[in-house]
Amino acid sequence: MAAYEEIVKRYQQVAFRTAYVITRSAADAEDAAQQGFIKAHRALGSFRAGAEPRPWLLQIVANEARNRVRSAGRRHKLELRLAEDYRPGGAAPSPEAAAIASEDSTRLLGLVNALGDEDRLVITSRYLLELSGEETAATLGIPEGTVKSRLSRALIHLRARVEEAPGA
């Protein structure tokens, strides 16, 4: 049990954030992540020894999150936003450079949030959550090859919007 508690501790952040991206609700994401960890514990016997647990866990949590979206019958607005204390580049930039960088990020985030679900989920999973290709595939419930093609398409859509957006 202590070992499993350690697993929960190690992966709860990525599990919660993955569920949040899918459900767009912190409360639903918490429920989904919690239930996902409980289901994963029940299914430990089916887990292949030596395999990486992260994709397996994320797949279970993402399934729970999708089930909640389906059963809720309503859509939340994604509330991802920039951290207020973010400092671009790590070092102290000039106030003007920081403002421009922040403006760019805000605009880009707005465009990502406005993408269709399929594009938004693959881009958010792969880049914003920094999941691996295998983890993105597990999270979205699609083959890894499909992740690549879907990602490529989503980036083209996003780039087109970046070009259209004023000031991009």
Partner 1 sequence: MPELSELEARLTTLGRELEWPPTPNLQASVIAKIATQKVIPLPTRAPMRPDQWYQNRWAVVAAAVILALAAVVAYQPSRDTIANWLNLHTRIQQVPVLPTPSPLPPGPLGVRLGLGGHSTLPKASAAVKWPVLVPSSLGQPDEVYLQFPPDGPPQGEVTLVYSARPGIPTSAQTGVAVLITEARGAVNTDFFGKTVGPDTTLQLVTVAGHQGYWIEGAPHVLVLIDAAGNPRYETLRLATNTLLIDEGGTIVRIEGDLTKDQALQIAASLA
Cα–Cα distance between 105 and 147 in angstroms, integer?
Answer: 24
Helix (H, G, I), strand (E, B) or coil at 20: helix
Cα–Cα distance between 118 and 112 in angstroms, integer?
Answer: 11
Reading the block at residue 153, the tokens are 């398409």
* CB of residue 103 to partner 1, shortest distance in Å: 12
* CB of residue 105 to partner 1, shortest distance in Å: 5
Instruction: Quote the distance between the C-alpha of residue 130 and its chain's center.
Output: 8
Q: How far apart are the first and last CA of the chain?
A: 51
Helix (H, G, I), strand (E, B) or coil at 160: helix
Side-chain-side CA neighbours of residue 65 (13 Å) = 30
* CB of residue 42 to partner 1, shortest distance in Å: 5
Q: Give the footprint of partner 1 on this chain (CB under 8 A).
A: 1, 4-5, 8-9, 12-13, 15-17, 20, 26, 29-30, 33-34, 37-38, 41-42, 44-45, 79-84, 86, 88, 104-105, 108-109, 112, 123, 127-130, 155-156, 158-159, 162-163
Instruction: Give exposure, 39-61, as e/b (b: 16+ Cβ within 10 Å).
Output: ebeeeeeeeeeeeeebbbbbbbb
